Amino acid sequence: MQELGRAEHTSVRVTPKGKDQVVIEKDLSSEEMILNMGPQHPSTHGVLRLECKTDGEVVIEAEPYLGYLHRCFEKHAEMVDYPGIVPFVDRMDYLASMNSDFAFCIAVEKLLDIEIPRRIEFIRVIVSEFNRIASHLVAIGTYAIDLGAFTPFLFCFRDREHMLSLLEWTSGARMLYNYILIGGVAYDFPEGFKERALEFVGYFRPKALELQKLLTENEIFVKRTKGVGIMPADVAVNYGWSGPMLRGSGVRWDLRRMDGYSIYPELDFKVCVPDGRFSDIGDSLSRHLVRAMEIEESLNIIEQCLDRMPEEEGFDPKAAIPKRIRPKAGEVYGRAENPRGELGFYIQSDGKSTKPLRCKARSSCFVNLSAMKELSRGQLIPDLVSIIGSIDIVLGEVDR
């Protein structure tokens, strides 16, 4: 079988000859080599393992192996009651805990059929948009490291710390908040939050531009990402892509707009898709651009929310939380737009217990990563790094 595989495979060698000429030799049969990348590798963003079948510098196929961080989320969800699941949801996508909690609470609230106070919705949107920016900053910073630029990473983490301290001030934790609860939030905003948040937005706008100048307009960065890992829109949909990945392929699809959950229908924001002037639609650079543009949009959303948020004296953020969370028998699929795409929860309740019968997390990175095999076909090994970085995986969410 192996012999057959080798005979079938042919390769092309390109040798430069003279100044502007190249010699192309076809049908050279060559040795294939299996190259393992990960699970301990600095640019796999965690414990992902890629088994690359290579032919010289060209990757024939890269097969991802997951499960090195499988922390049994779905088992835990069946073993603890509904409010107890929230901390485990936090630890799934640890870069965007607020957004993950939001998605989970949306799903359970849909099943419970309860009304959420308006101020709570504003609080939730503000904190999750802050978390979205923080998450995109990590994505951009680590992507820059993957491609050999260290400075943007420092820039990103410097600004991320400001957001973390805002969120810590609100929720009491730096990364894994357990802040958005089913039917409410844990605490109201501290006094003076609005001022500090606005101050941050004012501070961060020029910094975001600076980051763009430093990284997105950098010629080396563009050369490494433009035209690499192109994904056509229809294939992307077939692979179930969502979020910045799908928008990078030119599909105007954002659950914040399409599902219109929470107060997003009232807000004015753009669904960012690349316009093709700067990048080839669907390549790694497009996906990076979408993230960069979304940071802007999130800042707009935060400003609007801070402006319109109803002020209430002595507001109790836990007032709408049911005493006992026991949904009636039924099933629900609730979802929300995470920084990495659609995070959905399929929950099955039997109506008697305070624990779900089944809780499946439809993780966005897991689905986005499933196209890795297709994306990697025929790419160069260094481009593989550029592709993985642009998918922006969080292994906690991939493996759950």
Partner 1 sequence: MGLLDAKISKHNVLVTSVDNVMNWARLSSLWPMGFGLACCAIEMMATNASNYDLERFGIFPRASPRQSDLMIVAGTVTMKMAERVVRLYEQMPEPRYVLSMGSCSNCGGPYWKHGYHVLKGVDRIIPVDVYVPGCPPRPESLIGGLMKIQELIRMEQIGISRAEALKKLEEKSMDPSQLIQEARKSAKAS
Partner 2 sequence: MGETQENTSQLPEVIEAKAVWAVLKEKFGDAVSEFDENPTMPFFEVLEPERWLDIALFMRDSPKLRFTYMACLSGVDYPEEKKLGIVCNLESLGELGHKIAVKVRCEREGGVISSVARVWKTAEWHEREAFDMYGMTFSNHPDLRRILCPEDWEGYPLRKDYEVQETYHGIKVPE
List residues binding partner 2 (CB under 8 A).
66-67, 70, 72, 74-75, 78, 110-111, 113, 234-235, 237-240, 251-253, 330-333, 335, 342, 344, 346, 348, 358, 360, 362, 366-367, 370-371, 374, 399-400
Distance CA 362, CA 346 (A): 8
Which of partner 2, partner 1, none is residue 94 near (CB under 5 to 8 Å by kind)? Answer: partner 1
151-171 vs 118-146: helix crossing angle, rounded to 10? 160
Give the CB-side neighbour count of residue 132, counting CA atoms within 13 A: 30
Q: What are 177's two structure tokens?
A: 């908040």
With respect to partner 2, which residue has the nearer C-beta, 190 or 330?
330
Residue among 153, 177, 204, 345 that touches partner 1 (CB under 8 A): 153
Distance CA 400, CA 394 (A): 10
Q: Does residue 157 interact with partner 1 by CB under 8 A? A: yes
With respect to partner 1, which residue has the nearer C-beta, 141 or 248?
141
Report CA 116 to chain centroid distance, whole Å.
Answer: 26
Distance CA 189, CA 194 (A): 8
Q: Shortest distance, CB of residue 161 to partner 1, whole angstroms? A: 5
Q: Does residue 87 interact with partner 1 by CB under 8 A? A: yes
Q: Does residue 138 interact with partner 1 by CB under 8 A? A: yes
Handedness of CA 153, 158, 162, 167 (dihedral sign): positive
Q: What are 309's two structure tokens?
A: 């948020």
Q: Shortest distance, CB of residue 297 to partner 1, whole angstroms? A: 24
Q: What are 151's two structure tokens?
A: 């400075």
Distance CA 298, CA 125 (A): 10
Instruction: Tell me if 362 sits within 8 A of 348, measured CB to CB.
Output: no
Q: Shortest distance, CB of residue 242 to partner 2, whole angstroms? A: 8
Q: Does residue 83 interact with partner 1 by CB under 8 A? A: no
Kindly list the residues in this chain that would bind partner 1 in the complex (CB under 8 A): 39-40, 42, 46-47, 67-72, 75-76, 79, 87-88, 91, 94-95, 138, 141-142, 153-155, 157-158, 160-161, 164, 174-176, 395-396
